[in-house]
Copies of this chain bind each other. A is one copy, B any other.
Amino acid sequence: MVAGPTSTGPGKERLRLWIRLLRASRTIEAELRERLKKEFDTTLPRFDVMAALYRVPEGMLMSDLSRFLLVSNGNVTGIVDRLVSEGLVTRARRNGDRRTSMVRLTEEGSKAFARIAAVHEGWVGELLGGVSEEEAKRLTGMLKSFRSNWEGRE
């Protein structure tokens, strides 16, 4: 996915765009992952899960997390397992439906996330420093529009 187009033709510009998009996100992602590890001894997937939970104090179901984060169910199970063993989140069985469990940040988890998120936002600002806030808004809009065009089919 990271190599160049192998042909010319109508889809060429879109293929170029896709390759750029992928290289950009991989490069930034790698940098953020490394910093999270070095500065906070955590990982991107753990950060993602905590970020998702931080917005929703009442908690989320495993399947909500999975859908929201765009990763598989089994994947979330493992990450939450590790976060639980680190005391950062809890899994609470529900009376209503005993198949499900509500996942919540603990007090400690919430504090830890807030601390990391503040620094993280600064990193993103730095790494995307070449884009003005104005440009960022435009780019965001374009990404939003193309996404809605096909996502969530079937």
Contacts and interface: CB of A to CB of B under 8 A. Distances in A.
Interface residues of A, number: 68
Nearest to A133: B13
Contacts of A29: 1, 22
A148 to B, nearest CB: 7
Given A131-B146, A143-B20, A1 B121 contact: no
Number of copies: 2
Nearest to A17: B136
A112 interface: no
Contact of A3 (B25, B48, B130): B48
Contact of A124 (B14, B47, B118, B135): B14
A111 to B, nearest CB: 13
